[in-house]
Structure 1
Amino acid sequence: MSKDPAWNYCHLQNPQDRNATCNFCEKVMKGGIYRAKQHIVGGYRNVQACKKCPEHVKEEIREYMSKKKEEKEYTNLLPDFDDMDDQDEDDVAIIDVKGKRVASGTGSNNIQSKKQKQKGPIDLYFTPPPEVAVQNRKNDKGKQTTIDSACKKELRNRACQRFARWMYDAEISFNALNYDSFAPVVEAIGQHGPGMKPPSYHEVRVPLLKKELGHTDNLMRDHKEEWAKYGCTIMADGWEDKRLRCLINFLVNCPKGTMFIQSVDASSYSKTGEKMFDLLNKSV
């Protein structure tokens, strides 16, 4: 007999057929201990609720069933990437957040058996852009939401720890997390799911940089249209960097906002009126 607490309130009349009998009302459940728990807790369509069961027993079995459901979700949603730093590949134990073993087996075979949900082209039409998803989440803040399972909390903690470790290794400023563009990055990775191949050095340096340049040009298109419609003002801002170079930034201001044009290193010549006029004239 298992360690299921429901056996404290049920018994077997015949060990051969596994039919559980309720200790309170003597009703026989042909579905075994699982049906017996539904009978004790009540609220299930296919099982008649026990009318003699005390309320504290119902609460005990209800909490046990909820805990078992979370452990099952945790096991089924385990990702197939490097998630066991301190365990051997050939001997994997799945531990929940409370430190209890919920499953075990051989490493690669046990994890690979958890097949991830496959995504197809149709998902691209029903998955909102990361920026929209982030904004929707902000708008829904404060509304009633479902409680995250122990599985999701553990997976988030694991992902955050890996990300923080990468930041420390790359010496990235903590302030970078406050950028508005950061949350959509995390959302886009989450929409892809497990198995995403990270961008390479070449991709970030060449093709992705060209795409971002095109994206920036599209953002500035409205500004350029207003230049011709309402006029604009060309501005210059001089400053010195840590290497004591004299740099001059040129910007264009219009009712829609200010747009950066270029930066010129003016360290090799004096900032005379004629030279400033020549630089401004090139921007015009």
Structure 2
Amino acid sequence: MKQHLVGGFRNTKKCLKAPEHVRTEVNAYMIKKATSKVLNQFARNPSQDVGDYDEEEEEVEIEAIARFFYDNAIPFYPATSDSFKGMVEAIGQYGPGLVPPSMYELRVPFLQKEVEATNTKVMEFKKEWAIKGCSILSDGWRDSVVQKNIVNFLVNSPKGSVFIKSVEVFEVVKDSTTLFLMLDSIVEEVGEMNVVQVVMDNASNYVKAGKLLMAKRPHLYWTPCAAHCVDLMLEDIGKLPKIKNALKKAIFMNGYIYNHVGVVNIMRRFTNQRNLHRPAVTRFATSFITLAQYHKQKNNLKKMVISEEWIASKWQK
């Protein structure tokens, strides 16, 4: 991109639209960075000829980082993390000759040190819990891969959120008494006097467990999860006959359109490249957001099904 803006490089064409002041500023930045890199290399290896520096070296080194992701099937999102940037910066500062950690070092001594550092950081959070109070967050979900019911417990305070534990609950999560005992033990672990509220789902078993918890510990509150409230509202609204019928038709149309590439291409031409299906966190939210898209694109979809292109296609039947 920088070479494209500045121009004069063999790897890319010069940008004809870049203003001259942008071209000058980017060129000055490239020169400064290249000079800094040469000086750093020369400081580490005085015998190296400064004239040996090649502008393509930087690109080759970055490709090596990308290849590491590709060879090990690593998702790309870790590249946005601060720890990834810190690792690359640390390697660059060390320079040539850095011996990477072995698998054993990653699994045992370094991991132990990281656990110790994490525990130390958690202790800082716990000190704030005692001063400002905290909220326990309960999030139940089902792992469809291993077919297990799991409840995650986190603690939130002004300093941030801390993961406490995951509990595999099988079917006992449906039993409000067992759920109450599990929540009560988490409150005890965090410290009763530190807890202001417990936030969890609004299912009947959670409601009963929350009331049992407040009866035993009067100074804390059970608070229903707002996101789950909205989700349950959408679920109930979706059961109304007219809404249920509209959703059923939208789901049918959506399935038909997105199962045929040709129909998708026609649809996007008429909707100005807009998508009709809009996935959300829950299936109920997804259904209503998709329905809203159909309502928004209603006129464009009408134009599509009366167009000559549609009538002449095999799908108009």
Normalising by the smaller structure, the TM-score range is: 0.3 to 0.5
- Give the TM-score normalised by structure 1: 0.46
Identify the structure with the greater helix proportion.
Answer: 2
Larger-Rg structure: 1
- Give the TM-score normalised by structure 2: 0.42
